[in-house]
Amino acid sequence: MTVSFPSGIIKVFTSNPSPAVLCFRVKNTSKLEQILPNAQLVYSDQSQSDSTTRDFWMNMQAITLYLKKLSEQNPSASYYNVDVLKYQVSSNGIQSTPLNLATYWKCNANTTDVRVDYKYNPESMNVPSMLSNVQVVVPVDGGVTNMQSLPPAKWNADQMKAYWKISSISEKSENGGSGSLRAKFELSEGPSKPATLAVQFISEGSTLSGVDVELVGTGYRLSLLKKRFATGRYMADC
């Protein structure tokens, strides 16, 4: 979770020896296994009786010094981003993944056939949102000399990987966001060995955790709340 501070607030903090403490509340935390606040900047109350919310407040002296440091590094910036906490979402297997994948390999001495089936999973998100900039990367060894693919993919000979790019996947996509990627590879040093594929995508306007955040108390205003998630290590084996 990141908070963006406008550059003008640094002057407010530095000119006031005791600025109002910035407090915020994280709600709907039932899907979270753990919450890790930035220990250098944020305090938390772990004794709260409500298991679905958690209150946090800033170390105002520390945040002021940190923002001053950021402004010295980039004095022309309009906003400064501060990571205030991280959290881990509890997994419920395939129901928790926004894009479900299944891979199939057929490896012969001279050719390798690969099929990747994918299916959009709106139930994994608190609000179904589009997956954009989707990229599927499939490593293929065995000395690939030619590739035929549908839909068309790009082959990177140096990396020995096939790349499929899909602009977006959602419930409004063809077949409700389900589809297949297929490729046949001709080999000079086969057979290939089935490999782990990687997927990348981002999504704006939703989360997998379902958490929400609000400011507590007076003195500050939350002008905009952005929700997004993106892949880190998102892989599939056959």
pLDDT digits (tens, 9 = 90+) for 74-108: 999 999 999 999 999 998 888 999 999 999 999 99
Do 186 and 145 form a contact (C-beta atoms < 8 A)?
yes
Q: Has residue 218 been placed in a domain?
A: no
Is 72 in the same domain as 38?
Answer: yes
Question: CA-to-CA distance for 144 and 166, rounded, in angstroms?
Answer: 23
Q: Helix, strand, or coil here: 168?
A: strand
CA distance 162 to 155: 5
pLDDT of res. 94:
87
Residue-wise pLDDT tens digits, 41-63: 999 987 777 889 999 999 999 99
Average pLDDT over residues 35-42: 96
- With beta carbons less than 8 A apart as the criterion, state whether 207 and 126 touch: yes
User: Is the domain of 32 the same as that of 118?
Assistant: no
Q: Tell me, yes or no, whether 58 lies in a domain.
A: yes
Q: Domain range spanning residue 160?
A: 94-204
Q: Are residues 200 and 130 in the same domain?
A: yes
- Which residue from 38, 43, 37 is spatially nearest to 22, judged by alpha carbons? 43
What is the arithmetic mean of pLDDT over 176-181?
A: 98
Q: In the prediction, which pLDDT does 93 show?
A: 85
* Shared domain check, 99 and 80: no
Domain tally for the chain? 2
What is the rounded distance in angstroms from the CA atom of residue 221 to the CA atom of residue 199?
37
pLDDT, residue 48, reads 74
186-234 pLDDT, tens digit per residue, is: 999 999 999 999 999 999 999 999 999 999 998 999 999 999 999 999 9
